[in-house]
Structure 1
Amino acid sequence: MITFGRKLKHLRQKNHLTQKELGIAIGFPEDSADVRIAQYEADARKPRDEILAKMAKILCVPIDVLTVPILSEPREYEAASFWMHELAAEL
């Protein structure tokens, strides 16, 4: 599965922002802004909902793009397909 940190890093780089620039734009103090973003990108820390909302706005994406799990391995697709079939009536 593609992690939150990997998605965040990709979107940050796509928007030509450094970790420090993104952190400052979110509202973190300048002296620790890059450290906070690095922690999120390393999946060492999870952002609160209000931080997620700011990130999404700055990166020009819906919050779901950052939070909804993304499959990346064949076994994940197989498991998802199985459960979608099994639970089709409930979904």
Structure 2
Amino acid sequence: MTTFGKRLKEARKAAGYSQERLGIDAGIEPASASARMNQYEKGVHEPGESTVQQIAAVLNLPAAYFYCEDDGEAHLLQCFHCLKKDDRKQVIDLAESLAFNH
């Protein structure tokens, strides 16, 4: 299983979607939605950038989340994505102070 496939499966299940429903909601043709999502999760095929963006939008995740190999980084992206603009700035400021002042 690819990193993309692993993240996709985890995010889909956490959001309570079936493969078919996620595919349809992401704009994939209903007749092939389930099969395509299954192939993406198994790493048989990789979706194009626009499809990744559509899947990410449905799951309320940043597209970069699906490519993070490290679980902690993926979780941080997921959390950051849900923050309001002002809160994001605070997180960035804190991260910079921790990363560059030690």
TM over 0.5: same fold? yes
1:56-75 deviations in Å (ceiling 9; x for gaps): 1111111111123327xxxx
* Equivalent position of 1:32 in the other structure: 32
Q: Which runs of 5+ in 1 are unaligned?
A: 72-91
The Cα of 1:49 is off from its aligned counterpart by: 0.6
Which structure has the highest helix share of the two? 2
**Counterpart residue identity of residue 50, structure 1:** S
2:32 and 2:9 map into 1 onto residues whose CA distance is 17
How far apart in 2 are the matches of 1:3 and 1:64?
11
Who is 1:11 aligned against? 11
For residues 62 and 28 of structure 2, what CA distance do their matches in structure 1 show? 21
Give distance in 1, aligned partners of 2:13 and 2:68: 20
- Give unmatched runs, 5+ long, in structure 2: 72-102
| 4+ residue segments displaced more than 4 Å | none
Taking the aligned partners of 1:45 and 1:70, their CA distance within structure 2 comes to 22
The CA distance in 1 between the partners of 2:44 and 2:70, in whole Å, is: 19
Verify: 1:51 aligned to 2:51, yes or no. yes
Tell me, in whole angstroms, the C-alpha distance in 1 between the residues paired with 2:30 and 2:56: 20
TM-score (norm 2): 0.64
**Residues matched between the structures, number:** 71
Q: State whether residues 39 and 45 of structure 2, in contact with CA within 8 Å, keep that contact through their aligned partners in structure 1.
A: yes
Identity of aligned residues (%): 30
Matched letter for residue 64 of structure 2: D
Aligned AA for 1:66? F
State the AA in 2 paired with 1:32: S
